[in-house]
């Protein structure tokens, strides 16, 4: 029994199975929250959050995202070493030419 425009979605005598699916879902969620209690809800939310972060971490490890950072760091070290070598040798040449 679908509600007509402007009417209430249900009455006291409406059976749960006669409700629209969106209302059934809302009532099921309300019932679930009422049964769980506040501490259970908080634990569930934190557990879900932590599991999500672990999942993201595992996905990033599989993509080997850190490898690019290590390659970049190695390149910077190599360039720094070359620059230091050139700097040391240019000061030696300057001393030799004096």
Residue 41 lies in a domain: yes
Contacts of 3 by beta carbon, 8 Å cutoff, 6+ apart? 9, 10, 20
Residue 84, CB half-sphere, CA atoms under 13 Å: how many? 6
Q: Which residue has the higher pLDDT, 45 or 92?
A: 45
Each residue's pLDDT tens digit, 67-96: 888 889 999 999 999 888 887 766 665 555
Q: Are 23 and 58 part of one and the same domain?
A: yes
Each residue's pLDDT tens digit, 28-44: 877 766 666 767 777 88
Q: Which residue has the higher pLDDT, 85 or 53?
A: 53
Q: Give how many domains the chain has, as a whole number.
A: 2
Q: How far apart are CA 43 and CA 47, in angstroms?
A: 6
Q: Are 58 and 27 part of one and the same domain?
A: yes
Task: Give the global pTM.
Answer: 0.31
Residue 11 lies in a domain: no
Q: Are 59 and 72 part of one and the same domain?
A: no
Domain that holds residue 75: 66-98
Q: How far apart are CA 30 and CA 61, in angstroms?
A: 38
Q: How far apart are CA 18 and CA 14, in angstroms?
A: 7
Q: Are 52 and 74 part of one and the same domain?
A: no
């Amino acid at each position: 029994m679908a509600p007509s425009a402007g009417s209430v979605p249900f009455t006291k005598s409406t059976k749960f199975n006669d409700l629209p699916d969106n209302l059934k879902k809302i009532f099921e969620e309300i019932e679930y929250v009422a049964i769980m209690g506040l501490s259970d809800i908080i634990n569930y939310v934190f557990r879900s959050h932590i599991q999500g972060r672990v999942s993201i971490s595992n996905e990033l490890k599989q993509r080997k995202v850190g490898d690019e950072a290590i390659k970049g760091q190695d390149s910077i070290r190599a360039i720094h070493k070359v620059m230091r070598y050139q700097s040391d040798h240019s000061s030696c040449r300057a001393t030799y030419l004096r």
